[in-house]
Amino acid sequence: MTTCVIGSMRDFDRIQDIAGVLKQQGRKVLTPVDTSGARFADHVQAKNEFMRGMYEQIKQCDAVLVVNDRDRNGLKGYIGPNTFLQLGMAMALGKTLYSLAKWDEKLPYDEELSAMGISVMDIQRRF
């Protein structure tokens, strides 16, 4: 089984840490490309390539794990717009969806997240 580990790029190091733990357990893992040193002067073009690259990775995965166990902007279990987009891609492709934490009901797309059938894991202590 191949798992894509996704989340806010502000948590890129945490995503990599969790992916490392999963790899040590013998799992096949794909992670986002670090965009902090984007090779494009055009930020919009960099985001476009990032989103297309994530779609290609998600197509290769059996499951998607969202790293959302940190609060941001006063919201618990933050899931930002890019991660929401990636979850939508994964759902449309029939992937199994997991998150490390329950997201805040104040997110503007709470109902959509709930409709995606994301299984909330209670495994933070392992990471």
Q: What is the CATH number of the domain that holds 75?
A: 3.40.50
Q: Which residue has the higher pLDDT, 21 or 43?
A: 21
CA angle 91, 76, 98 (to 5 degrees): 30
Is residue 39 included in any domain, yes or no?
A: no
Domain count, the chain: 1
Distance of alpha carbon 33 from alpha carbon 54, whole angstroms: 8
Q: What radius of gyration, in Å, describes the C-alpha atoms of the chain?
A: 14
For 16-20, 48-52, 121-125, which range has the lowest pLDDT when averaged over its residues?
Answer: 121-125
Is residue 41 included in any domain, yes or no?
A: no
Q: Which residues pair with 3 in a beta bridge?
A: 29, 63
- Per-residue pLDDT tens over the stretch 59-106: 999 999 999 999 998 999 999 999 999 999 999 999 999 999 999 999
pLDDT of residue 91: 98
Is residue 27 included in any domain, yes or no?
A: yes
Tokens 């960099």 sit on residue: 46
pLDDT of residue 19: 94
Which range of residues forms the domain containing residue 103? 2-32+49-126
Total residue count of the chain as it appears in this document:
127
Beta strand pairing status for 96-99 and 119-120? parallel
Helix (H) or strand (E) holding 84: helix 81-92
Is residue 11 included in any domain, yes or no?
A: yes
